[in-house]
Amino acid sequence: MDQKVGPYSSPGAVKHWAAMLTAPMMALISGEITATVCNAALGAVNVSGSIKAVWLSVEESGKDDTNTLSFTVDVKINGTTCLTTQPIIAHVSGEASTNKTTKTSLDTGVTQSVMDASANDVTLGDMLTYEMTLTRTASPTTEMRNIAIAVEIEPA
């Protein structure tokens, strides 16, 4: 896909169009989550700008009232992390397994990501990868299931 060039009707036209038309880059991990995923591709960036948010959703948060059951994600631009705080979704003892997201801070057992302002700029064609780290015992009562990793890019 070619980057469009002007002239345009207004100086902010490309940024406006990209903000309205660009969906977040997404990675989906289907089924029960039983292992860590290392250096998996999210894809190539299709617009220059900066990563403004990384957030997670899970269909089932799993259940293990005795041991830690959680996952975190690190997103990298050409091999370098863009986060100072990685998003985390964790089971909270006593809760049922349920849908959770780090998009808002309303869920229990979640930590929202914090972007590294000095390392979140992207250029058309940069490669995004992720590492999903799972912390669990051998046999939680209910496994975590169906994860979505979303990366929102704000055009330059």
Instruction: Give phi and psi for 15, each to the nearest 5.
Output: -60, -45
Domain assignment present for 101: yes
| Best CA proximity match to 88, nearest among 66, 68, 67, 111 | 111
Examine residue 115 and state whether it is found in any structural domain, yes or no. yes
Residue 85 counted as domain residue: yes
What is the per-residue pLDDT for 18?
Answer: 63
All residues at 6 or more sequence positions from 67 whose CB lies less than 8 Å from its CB, including other chains: 136, 137, 140
pLDDT tens for the 156 residues of the chain, in order: 455 666 667 777 766 766 666 678 999 999 999 999 999 999 999 889 999 999 999 999 999 989 999 999 999 999 999 999 999 999 999 999 999 999 998 899 999 999 999 999 999 999 999 999 999 987 899 999 999 999 999 988
**For residue 139, is it within any domain?**
yes
Number of domains in the chain: 1
- Please provide the distance, in angstroms rounded to a whole number, between the alpha carbons at the two ends of the chain: 17
CATH code of residue 95? 2.60.120
Q: Does residue 60 belong to any structural domain of this protein?
A: yes
Give the pLDDT confidence score for residue 7 in this predicted structure.
67
91 touches 109 (CB < 8 A): yes
The predicted pLDDT at position 64 comes to 92
Task: Give the DSSP letter string of 65-101.
Answer: SSS--EEEEEEEETTEE-EEE--EEE--TTPPP--EE
What does the alpha-carbon distance between residue 76 and residue 104 come to, in Å, rounded to a whole number?
Answer: 22
| Structural domain for 30, as ranges | 13-155
- Flag whether 8 is in a domain: no
- Amino acid at site 153: I
